[in-house]
Homo-oligomer: A and B are copies of this chain.
Amino acid sequence: MLGLGLIGGSLARAAEPLLPVFGWTPSPGTQQAAIADGYDVEADLEKALARAVRADALVVLAAPVTKFGGLLQTIGELTPTVRLTDVASVKAVVQEEVADFAPRTRYIGSHPMAGTAASGWPAGSAALFRDAAWVTALTDDSDIDDWALVAGLALAIGSRVVPADPQAHDLAVARISHLPHLMALALAQAGEQGGALALSLAAGSFADGTRVAGTRPELVRAMTETNRGALIDAMDDALGILGVARGSLASTGSLLKIAEAGHAARGRFEHRGDQLAAVTLEGDELIDQLLAVGAAGGHVSGVDRTAGGLKISAWYPDEE
């Protein structure tokens, strides 16, 4: 586990009952805190990587995404064929960095869709990933056995596994994670412009709508700024919807369109998992099958090795 912040620290705690876990962090304070909590922490990156090779470990990049370049260079030099995943909230750019700096690693990108406004080792929890989506990035070059290892770990700690193409992942999270952060940040400011009376009256809708504005600004910047193209498109859509509503309110006094369309969209979000049915994936072209499951809104619930290869249990939309 390279990095022991909220996600790395939570993953160390969640995985520890299942298999031996050891970590590295450049922060002496985090080292001491994790060791005091009974975890196995290396102070030296090269020693940690050498140990990973000896143990045939899965290396998890859980550092801030801005540190990935340097870490991947070291991995590419010292442990060029190690099994590797990461937990960054963008996937295409990391896939490219891996191809540039550590192209022979057995890499499967991950994005556990879990987090809180808190951060750092003390905020971690073994339960963080339970019932959360865990994206596994897949391309034509991915090795299905490397995928099965990462997917198996995610399933074992209670996540549902969502296979996705890296670019498709980035487009999706721009809309359901990065845009919500920016909307919350804008709302927090626009609300405060109403002064002390406005803040004292603020309750449910404002508290909910600004909650993720409590996230540390450097974490928000790390995820949003690395997903620039997809996020600009998502912002343009949101600006367009709000701008049309503003124009309608000013000209006709009506907010019918946004009120009905937004309510219907929220309803479909609430019922998004209602129509899934169990399916089994086997045979050839498993990567294409997995990507089809994720793209349709489905997810993987089990991975078994059989004599004939992998047998994958999944949930897939039931098209009546």
Contact = CB atoms under 8 A, between A and B. Distances in A.
A19 interface: no
Contact of A205 (B162, B181, B217): B181
A298 B317 CA distance: 52
A131 to B, nearest CB: 9
B162 A200 contact: yes
A172 B186 contact: no
A281 to B, nearest CB: 17
Interface residues of A, number: 103
Interface string A219-253: 01100110010011011111101110110011001
Interface in A271-313: 272-273, 294-299
A209 B299 CA distance: 24
Nearest to A163: B197
A33 to B, nearest CB: 24
A72 interface: no
A232 to B, nearest CB: 6
Contact of A180 (B181, B187, B189): B187
Contacts of A253: 225, 228
A298 B200 contact: yes
A130 interface: no
Given A179-B190, A193-B237, A250 B272 contact: no
A150 B272 CA distance: 44
A232 B187 CA distance: 14
A268 B260 CA distance: 33
A209 B180 contact: yes
Contacts of A171: 194, 198
A304 to B, nearest CB: 23
Nearest to A173: B201
Q: How many protomers of this protein does the assembly include? A: 2
Contact of A261 (B133, B162, B185): B185
A200 B237 contact: no
A180 B199 contact: no
Contacts of A31: none
A198 B172 contact: yes
Contact of A266 (B213, B231, B266): B213
Contacts of A273: 200
A105 B194 CA distance: 31
Contacts of A272: 196, 199-200, 202
Contacts of A203: 113-114, 132-133, 176-177
Interface of A: 113-116, 132-133, 135, 162, 164, 168-169, 171-177, 179-218, 220-221, 224-225, 228, 231-232, 234-239, 241-243, 245-246, 249-250, 253-256, 258-263, 265-270, 272-273, 294-299, 317
Those 3 A-B pairs whose CB atoms lie nearest each other, nearest first? A185-B262, A196-B297, A213-B266
18 contacts: A114-B203, A133-B200, A174-B194, A176-B205, A177-B206, A180-B209, A182-B242, A184-B209, A186-B241, A186-B242, A189-B241, A195-B297, A197-B294, A200-B299, A202-B269, A208-B208, A213-B265, A224-B249
